[in-house]
Amino acid sequence: MSDAPNRDPLRRTAVVVVVSLAVAALVTWFGPALFVPHKPGGPGGPPIPDLFVQLKLFVSTYNLVALGFLAATYAMLYRELPNRFTLSLLLFTAALLLYALTSNPLASILLGFRGSGLGPFTFLPDLFAAVAVTFLTYQSSA
């Protein structure tokens, strides 16, 4: 990748994690109130009442932001090393980015779908994906 003299993989990973956590917290806190329309006759109640769905919103938003950073890293790598392996990494990350986007409850609510009923299995797959993306970010920065 680039020849930056103080390119510390742990520091870069920490920055990605902190920024991703901050964006995920802001989207979880303010996103439903901003993007979900309320019923015309009244307030309509909280748009995302289930704690598990709120956790899924947080984790899937974290994944979305972290994968954005990872896609940018792989795009820079592909510009420097245009081969099939780096293209595969970029396409794999794009697929995970689409997964994170479509699994986000805010996206489904914006499209008119509500409810989950899966309990903790609503957010656990996204939590495991978040751990994998964090490790992949660290390994890609080394």
- Residue type at position 120: P
d(CA 61, CA 119): 19
The confidence score (pLDDT) of residue 36 equals 63
Contact criterion met (CB below 8 Å) for 138 and 10: yes
Q: What is the DSSP letter of 111?
A: T
The confidence score (pLDDT) of residue 1 equals 45
Mean pLDDT by 10 residues, the chain (142 residues): 63 95 94 67 54 86 94 94 88 87 81 64 78 82 70
Nearest to 99 by CA among 56, 60, 134, 138: 60
pTM of the entire structure? 0.75
The confidence score (pLDDT) of residue 85 equals 86
d(CA 44, CA 40): 8
Q: Give the DSSP H or E segment for 14.
A: helix 9-35
Nearest to 71 by CA among 55, 94, 88: 94
Tokens 């990973």 belong to residue: 13
Contact criterion met (CB below 8 Å) for 52 and 126: no
d(CA 2, CA 60): 29
Distance separating the N- and C-terminal Cα atoms of the chain: 10
How far, CA to CA in Å, does 48 sit from each of 61, 74, 122, 123, 134?
15, 34, 13, 14, 27
Contact criterion met (CB below 8 Å) for 136 and 70: yes
The confidence score (pLDDT) of residue 79 equals 95
